[in-house]
């Protein structure tokens, strides 16, 4: 795997059942390590992937001094030890199975490498996801400070299309690994305070406490309702900036008459630049969506280059499998666009 990837180009995506797991006793930085690994293991099937320490340090924003390689290795080890202890459960109330996501997690301190392999039986947790998944930007996740905020953020992203999450008091405490002795005043001060500080302004997050009354006593908090900005996965046509590119439904090409000057210039440009479809196929371009303030990742499925010099590029959104076609006036324009947005 190439290690030139910028953190801005990375997204974490996994099956929603992962959100039912309480990542107990994980520190904020250990959560960063886990989500970074999950983002890089995504869509690699059962392949064993090896990372250098320096690569992972950059992605998790490891700020310690250079001589702390052993400390970083210990953090990698603790992350996996804690993950083993909270193995994932898939199923329903009648039938379920528990498993460990990674079956190989080998750390080499001398070479400063870590090699990881996904459990083959449950590779669907990170691979070929078209529905029932949670997705978020790794850069935003690692930028959060509180471990409570990170854990709330993951669940919030699961309900991104509705902007609403309702959960019981006990389930909320379990999911966020809140100490059993915490009363509502402790949750307000130590859990909700950092969550609101980091997420309320951007997502217009609001928290409503639900109460149930027992006899004449004081009403007891029974759960919470969270509302926040919706952020459904947009269609490609909404995400692409207008760089002379539109979706196939919106484009109409004029028919050139008697090889006008524009057509002649286009053909000359094609002679000056050799077209190689294999250079682009199966690559991914990253497009920022201003409306939803997120990136879309589009896999190049096929490219057609006709005799008039036009280039048609079929792409598929790797998050929701939505397909569309982009059109460019020339190979040169397409190649410039590709160089700008390819990852």
| Tens digit of each residue's pLDDT (9 = 90 or more) over 143-185 | 999 999 999 999 999 999 899 999 999 999 999 999 999 999 9
Q: Does one domain contain both 206 and 225?
A: yes
For the chain, the residue count is 343
Shared domain check, 68 and 165: no
Judged against a pLDDT cut of 70, whether residue 260 lies above it is answered with no
pTM assigned to the model: 0.64
Of 275, 343, 333, 332, the C-alpha closest to 138 is 343
Query: 85 or 178: which carries more pLDDT confidence?
Result: 178
Output the pLDDT for position 114. Answer: 93
* One domain for residues 227 and 240: no
180/256 same-domain check: no
The residues with which 115 forms a beta bridge, in sequence order, are 50, 106
Q: Give the residue from 211, 231, 251 where a domain finishes.
A: 231
pLDDT beyond 60 at 246: no
| Mean per-residue pLDDT, 317-324 | 77
**Are both 200 and 250 inside the same structural domain?**
no
Same domain, 6 and 131: yes
Residue 295 to residue 236: CA distance in whole angstroms: 11
Tell me how far apart the alpha carbons of residues 283 and 325 are, in angstroms, rounded to a whole number.
15
290-327 exposure pattern, b = at least 16 Cβ within 10 A, e = fewer? eebebbbbbbbeebebeeebbbbbbbbbbbbebebbbb
Mean pLDDT of the region 74-94: 83
Give the domain-ending residue among 136, 161, 192.
136
- Assess whether pLDDT exceeds 50 at residue 241: no
pLDDT at residue 99 in the model = 80
- 24 lies in the same domain as 127: yes
How far is it, in rounded angstroms, from Cα 87 to Cα 81?
10
Q: In this structure, what are the phi and psi dihedrals at residue 47, rounded to the nearest 5 degrees?
A: -65, 140
CA distances in angstroms from 46 to 43, 49, 98, 104, 128, listed in the order given: 9, 9, 19, 11, 12
Q: Kindly state whether residues 170 and 289 are assigned to the same domain.
A: no
- N- to C-terminal Cα distance for the chain? 13
How much is the average pLDDT of 93-121? 87
Instruction: Please say if the pLDDT value at position 302 is more than 60.
Output: yes
The tokens of 179 are what?
């100490």
Question: Are residues 222 and 289 located together in one domain of the fold?
Answer: no
**End position of a domain, from candidates 231, 247, 280:** 231
With cut-offs at 50, 70 and 90, classify the pLDDT of residue 233.
low
Q: How many domains does the chain contain in total? A: 3
**Mean pLDDT for the chain overall:** 80
CATH code at position 14: 1.10.10.10
Considering the domain architecture, whether residues 5 and 120 belong to the same structural domain is answered as: yes
3-state helix, strand, coil in the chain (%, to 5): 35, 25, 35
Least confident of 36-40, 65-69, 227-231, 326-330: 65-69
Could you list the residue range(s) of the whole structural domain that residue 178 is in?
144-231
Q: Beta partners for 96?
A: 91
Asked if 121 and 224 sit in the same domain, the reply is no
Q: Is the pLDDT of residue 209 over 90?
A: yes
Strands (E), 32-112: 49-52, 88-91, 96-99, 102-108
- Tell whether 240 and 210 lie within a shared domain: no
Q: What percent of the chain stands above pLDDT 90?
A: 34
């Amino acid at each position: 795997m190439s290690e030139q990837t910028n953190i801005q180009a990375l997204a974490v995506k996994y099956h929603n059942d992962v959100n039912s797991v309480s990542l107990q006793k994980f520190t904020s930085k250990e959560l960063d390590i886990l989500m970074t690994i999950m983002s890089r293991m995504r869509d690699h099937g059962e392949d064993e992937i090896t990372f250098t320490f320096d690569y992972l340090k950059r992605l998790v924003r490891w700020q310690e001094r250079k001589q702390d390689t052993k400390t970083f290795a210990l953090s990698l080890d603790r992350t996996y030890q804690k993950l083993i202890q909270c193995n994932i459960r898939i199923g329903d109330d009648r039938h379920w199975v528990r498993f460990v996501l990674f079956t190989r997690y080998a750390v080499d301190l001398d070479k400063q490498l870590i090699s990881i392999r996904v459990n083959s039986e449950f590779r669907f947790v990170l691979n070929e996801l078209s529905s029932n998944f949670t997705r978020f930007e790794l850069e935003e996740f690692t930028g959060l400070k509180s471990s409570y905020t990170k854990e709330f953020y993951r669940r919030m992203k699961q309900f991104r299309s509705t902007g609403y999450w309702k959960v019981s008091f006990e389930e909320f405490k379990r999911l966020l690994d809140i100490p059993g002795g915490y009363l509502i005043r402790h949750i307000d001060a130590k859990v909700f305070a950092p969550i609101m500080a980091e997420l309320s302004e951007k997502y217009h997050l609001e928290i409503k406490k639900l109460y149930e009354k027992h006899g004449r006593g004081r009403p007891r908090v029974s759960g919470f309702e969270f509302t926040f900005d919706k952020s459904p996965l947009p269609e490609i046509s909404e995400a692409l900036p207008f760089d002379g590119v539109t979706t196939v439904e919106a484009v109409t090409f004029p028919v050139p008459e008697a090889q006008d000057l524009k057509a002649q210039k286009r053909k000359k440009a094609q002679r000056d630049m050799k077209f190689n479809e294999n250079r682009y196929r199966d690559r991914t371009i990253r497009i920022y969506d201003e409306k939803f303030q997120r990136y879309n990742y589009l896999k190049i499925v096929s490219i057609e280059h006709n005799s008039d010099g036009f280039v048609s590029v079929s792409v598929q959104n790797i998050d929701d499998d939505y397909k569309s076609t982009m059109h460019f006036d020339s190979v040169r324009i397409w190649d410039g666009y590709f160089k700008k947005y390819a990852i």
